[in-house]
Structures are given as C-alpha cells and as structure tokens.
A and B are shown apart, each in its own frame.
Chain A
Amino acid sequence: MQGIPLTHILFVSTALFLIGMYGLFTRRNLITMLMSIELMLNSVNINFVAFNKYLYPDKLDGIFFSIFIITIAAAEAAVAIAIIINLYRTHTSIDVEDATEMKY
C-alpha cells in the first residue's frame, strides 16, 4: 500500500472515469448507461479516498464524501431505474435511441 504512489491511483480513477464516460456515450441500453454512470461515480470515490488517505490523512472529509456519494448514487439509481421501467412501459424498449421523439 505504502509503495503505490498517488499518481497510480489517480491513473486508475481517471481511466475508470473515462471508461464510464465512453460507455455512457456509446451504449444504447439505458441500464448499461446507468452502470457507466456508476463507474464514473466510483472513480470519483476513488479520488476522494485516495486524496484523503495520501494527502490529508488527519481529517476524514474525503472518506465521508465518498460515503455520501455512494448513498446518493443508490438513490439516483433507484429513481433512474424506476424511470427506465416506466419508459419501458410506454416505449416497450429501453434503447436510448428509441426515446428521441422530442428534438429540435
């Protein structure tokens, strides 16, 4: 643990963030997109925890923050999934490309 520098962790988190973003941009399935968002949130969590651990170990701001993020991510996911379910009811599809009726 001590041997791993902060930058490595940040690389991981950044990569995770970008992967999540890539997923969000390219995946057509809404559930997958939601998962991609979770990936991004988790990458931020990593950031917070890592910063807290490496740079400011005397306070617990970062740790707390990530706990709250997890909580809120859960809430968000709950609402999102509810919405997606309802979307499926109305559109009989959870393909994001099928829900582009409103535009311009």
Chain B
Amino acid sequence: MNLSLLIIIPLLTALLVLFGRGLKQVRVISLAGALLQLGISVWLLLLYWQTRTSGNNEAMLFVQNHAWFAELGIHYHIGVDGISIAMILLTASVVVAGILVSWNETNMSKEFFFLLLLLSMGAYGFFISLDLFTLFFFLEVAVIPKFLLIGVWGSGKKEYSAMKLALMLMAGSALVFVGMMGVYQQTHSFDIMAIAKMHIPLEVQKIFFPFAFLGFGIFAALFPFHTWVPDGHASAPTAASMFLAGISMKLGGYGCLRVATFLMPDAAHAYSWIIILLATIAIIYGAFATMMQTDLKYINAYSSVSHCGFVILGIGMLTETSINGAVLQMVSHGLMTALFFAAIGMIYTRTHTRMVAQLGGLLKVMPFISTVFVIAGLCSLGLPGFSGFVAEMTVFMGSWQNPNGWYRLATILACASIVVTAVYILRAAGKTIMGPTGETHQQLSDASWNEKLAAGILIVGIVLMGVAPFLINQLIGTGVGTIMQQVGNVITQK
C-alpha cells in the first residue's frame, strides 16, 4: 500500500475545500475526504495484519524511501509499525468526529475546514515519518492551523490563548530541533531506523536527549510546560479542542517515544528519574488542579495534563509493559478527550455556558449528550470496559515492574490520582448532568444526527479498545518490541 495516500488525501481534500461553495459543499467535501481517510486507515490496519500474519517481521512496513534533499541526508522516508497505525486510526477517527461536530460552522466555513484538514495532514505525516527532518516538518505543519483555529473561531480570551499555544509549541519544536541537530551531526543521518542502529556515545546522548524529550514534552503537556493546554483548549472551538487534545498532544508523546527514547536510550535511562518526577507531578498536580476548576473545558484540559502524565510516566519507566501502556494511553486519551470535548461543545452550543455551576440536570433534556458526557467521564476515570482502564492499568503494571523503590512510590502516587480523577469527574457530571434541571434549560434539544454520529465513532473506538484490548496490544506489540530492543529491559527478574 502506498502510504503517501495518507498525506495526499487530506491535502487534496483541503485544496478541494477551497473550491467549494458555501457551507454545504464544503462540509460534504471535508466529510467525504475524512471518511475516505478513515477507510484507508482501516484498510491499512487490515493490510498490516495480513502482512504480519504472513510472517513479515520487519520493524517497519510499507516503507518508501526517496531522496529528498539528498545532499543533507534528508529523505522522504515513510513507513509504519503498529504504533503508527494505532495513531493513524486515532487521528482518522478524531478527524471524522471533528468535522461532524463542526457541521454547522457558518463563520468562514471554508477556511475552517481547510485548516482542520491541514492540521490532520500534519498529524498523519508525523506519524508515518521515518526521517527526522520529515517528522519535524510535519510536526511544525500541525502548529499554525491551531493558532488560526483558536484565534479566529475560538471564544473567551482566544487571541491570548492562541498566541500562547503557538509560541510554546514553537519553543517545543525549537528544542526538538536542537536535539535533532545533535543527533544529526553525530550520525550524519536523519534516518530514524538507521540512527537507532548506530551507537551515539552516552555523553552526547546526555546533552541532546533533554532537548528532544523536553521539546516533545511541551507538546505532551509535560509539567511545568503545560500552561498552553488549559487556555488553549478552553478557548478553542470544539473541533479544534478535539484535535488539540486528541491528536496534537499525541504528537508529543509519540515523539518522546520514537525520537527521544528510541534514538537515545542510554540517556533515557540516565534521566528517567527526572522524567518520572515530572510525570508524577503532572499527574497529581493536574488532577488536583482539575478539581478546582469550574469551567467544563478547563476541567477537561487540566485532566488532560494529568492523563498525559501517564504517557510520560510510562515512557520514563522504560519497561516493555509501561511503554505499551504509554502507547495505549495515547490512543485512549485521544479518543476519550475528543469525546469529552465533543460533548462539552454540544452542551455549550445549546446552553451557551460551560460553567459547571450554571448547568444542571441535563440528563432530563438531552439524554444522548449526557450519556456521551458520562461515558467520556467514566472512560476518563478509568472504568473497565472503556479504553482508559486498559491503558492506565498497563501503565501501572509496567511501572511497577521497574524495581526501583522510588519509582514504585511514583507509581503509587500515580495510582492515587485515579481517586482524585473520580472526584472531579463525578463532581462535574453530578452538577451538570444530574440534579434539578435549570429553568432556562428545559426546552433544549438533544443531539442531531451528525453529533450522534461523531460521538458514536469515538465511543466505538473507546469501547472496542476497552473490551478487546488484546487486539490493539497485538497491533502495537511489534513496535514496542523494536523500541525495547533498543532500550533494553530494565527488569532484572530472578
């Protein structure tokens, strides 16, 4: 299969959108493109499975490698393993859902959908890149659309949030770039798989690992560089929030894994205590900060900080299971938080408020949306049957395998966050969904077909992953295995 399709189709769709006339045409084109992309992603998944079962054990499949700037060692080198496919599927579902949720975006609809599709192209490209420079290219492609999406279509102090988000993410990619340069000047290659085979001296790794990890960490809301998350998410329009939390934060996690940890494993070992420290702080701190929020979007944004902490924690622990868990958590969090934002957006368009205190008893007037909200909440607090549980438990299980006592403590603290999560999710749900219905909200309507479909797609993903985790586990197994070969297993089991 030609992986370039994954980049070309969003691009073509985005360009077609520019020729569309009026909201109706534009949204249909976007949806068609996104659905096509989702179809291709699923097809890719099937092909991948077929190839694997036929005994192909290459680390990367469907590889294409064309010289791009050959003089600089830059290649258009793409390929996928299970981790990338999981991410691609995540992206594809969130994109479809995002487009469906913005079905009635009348304000500059053409530009809106164009930017959404451009953003998704960046994410796809990022996930399939096997060349550091291409990867970096797509990472940055995904930044600017966010700025415009938040700044133009957002609400609240949108300009401030958009600027903060763009600048912090650019700072992140600046750090990534420095890390990347360090690797490049050491190995004279941008080829991730080739670099992995070369040995970078520990001293060099120690210098550049922090740059790469921190840079991607900013994308993944690593404490204390998470402050773009709450404001950015809160100000963004619904679809952009979904993209931000669902896709864009995953770029960071994926980068931490694929670039920082995979290429500089020794340094990852050396610095794991810092990573774990920051991740643990993010988890606990994010959870407690969420507890004090009164705006639904802020609640979800801070909870994203906390949840993305699990991703970082899983990577920092460096055991096969924990990295597995980190990947699972990325997918899970992407789906779940996108669903959450979708639900919040639906509520907001009807009630025109996101303040918990002003809402109440929505279950009575909009049972579907409320159910979606509750499902997202339950997934967020790690209920079995939904993806969050599988992911979090894998992270915990894997983290615990690391025999270091202090890391155990970190694991326990991370586990403790599930209680705090329960508190804030239930507080939010209890106040908004349950309780007496407000006078002004008695006449509101429930979800329309597009909203139902959007939520449905995400819920299917969440439930599928929660009920049949062995499927996705198999999918990402080989990929994680490749990374583990590089990292080496820290467990010294007797």
A contacts B: CB pair < 8 Å: no
